[in-house]
Amino acid sequence: MESTVRVRNGEIWADDTGGDGPPLVLLHPGIADSGVWDRVVPELAPHHRVIRYDARGYGRSPAPTAAYSQAEDLAAVLDHFGLDRAALAGTSMGGATAVSLALDAPDRVTALALFCPGVTGRPDPDPPALTQEIGTLARAGDMDGLVALALRTWAAAGTAPDAKAADFVRRAIPAWFTTHPHQVPDAPAYDRLPALRPPCLIAITGLDQPEVVRCNEQMAARIPDCRVVRLPDCDHLPSLREPGTVARLILEACARGRGGV
């Protein structure tokens, strides 16, 4: 069931499969909206109450107009659905948000399944030249150029024209610029990773940017008893490329959080 979640200084769109299963929240990457989970949710819903939402500026959520933080919005989603605790599965930007909440409110997170995650408090894995090229294309108003650059950078597993990935990226790009003036970074998490309490899985995607792979390896080394899985043929969109594998790993991570693995 779709709903509107009230958050500080705004609102976001969310969807809840309902049911009596243990709650699980899915968080999308910065190059797609929550539709990136479309092929994963049907495999999770028989086992979990699955909630997903569009971060501000993405998908069906309005762009922000005032200060906000990603982790605070995630906590508001849990509150809206009456959840004291939930398992979290996140990709890239969504993974960083999940980690931040797990560190700031560990009693609210039962398990973490992280796919090529980001993390606050560590230098941006994107090389400066990439950031500069994005800025140049944006100033020129070259949306096609931005989409092509994003596909080369984060969607290496696709085959041209890779229409599904291109559609996700094209819809996500405006949020890169509408959210930046208002997003307040969550507290630095990288140095606090050894204090992470919930059971954690990190999936490292082999076709991702080398610095993203390096960041994820370093994260896993800092997180106590972190399970590492390598997806050699995946890029920055694992739930699009290998939805069955992603669903299985999420279920395994959730079971571990309940003491089942």
Mean pLDDT of the chain: 96
The rounded distance, in Å, linking the Cα atoms of 51 and 87 is: 10
Tens digit of pLDDT for each residue in 39-54? 999 999 999 999 999 9
The rounded distance, in Å, linking the Cα atoms of 177 and 58 is: 11
Q: What is the pLDDT of residue 260?
A: 45
Under DSSP, the state recorded for 228 is E
Say if strands 2-7 and 49-53 run parallel, antiparallel, or are unpaired: unpaired
Collect all residues with Cβ–Cβ distance below 8 Å to 261 and sequence separation of at least 6. 252, 255
In the chain, domain spans: 2-125+178-257
Average pLDDT of span 128-150: 95
Instruction: Output phi, psi for 28, to 5 deg.
Output: -85, 165
Average pLDDT of span 88-95: 99
Q: Does 258 score more than 90 pLDDT?
A: no
The rounded distance, in Å, linking the Cα atoms of 108 and 70 is: 15
Average pLDDT of span 196-219: 97
Question: What tokens does 58 get?
Answer: 């993405």
Instruction: Output phi, psi for 251, to 5 deg.
Output: -60, -40
- Count the neighbouring beta carbons within 10 Å of the beta carbon of residue 12: 27
Q: What angle do CA 181, 131, 141 make, to 5 degrees?
A: 70
Average pLDDT of span 226-247: 98
Does 3.40.50.1820 match the CATH number of domain 2-125+178-257? yes
CA distances from residue 156 to 3, 63, 117, 260 in whole angstroms, order as listed: 34, 29, 17, 35
The answer to which of 46-55, 102-111, 126-135 has the lowest mean pLDDT is: 126-135
